Structure 1
């Protein structure tokens, strides 16, 4: 059964844009590996569609990911649990050697995360553009 964002079924109207940052456990630089980064990108967009979360921008650095999201009526804790649980579980199932060699059988994401409200959208968009693997100019394997 598909989960739904409560905003769609509520009389409340509005947007709550936040910047979410999730860091990889043990600071492993797994997003320097193109295949891992592309798979995580695809998994994040699957999670956004599944939970009906709007994503304005997404960017990776070597060991973390930044996202500008409209969190709807989800709390920050719910948002983090849904996205990190969905993506972490699927990535480590699809790439089992990563779990064995880098995470020693544990999870993908560091338990700490940062989700902050956005007051100046332009500032955060420029910040994401400066990340190592910003989505604006990133080429996918399928383009070659």
Structure 2
């Protein structure tokens, strides 16, 4: 993802999580009836790194090591 330097990483993550959650709830409406609706579909945390400082392997390991609920 590439954004203007004045846009904070937290705003980017917030937007991505919001858009993807709406898409998933639209595609799978039964999820709204479960605990996901209203309690936050995504976890509160996130990871941000630049391509100059973080390898794709580091990102891949981070994603693979996330706890699954």
**TM tier relative to shorter chain:** 0.5 to 0.7
Alpha-carbon RMSD: 2.6
Match of 1:126 in 2: 57
Match of 1:18 in 2: none
TM-score (ref. length: structure 1): 0.33
Moved over 6 A (4+): none
Structure with larger Rg: 1
Greater relative CO (CA pairs within 8 A, separation 6+): 1
Q: For 1:17-28, what aligned pairs fall within 5 Å after superposition?
A: none
Question: 5+ unaligned residues in a row in structure 2: which ranges?
Answer: 65-69
TM-score (ref. length: structure 2): 0.58
- Between Structure 1 and Structure 2, the one with more strand by share is 1
Aligned residues: 61
CA distance in 1 between counterparts of 2:60 and 2:9 reads 24
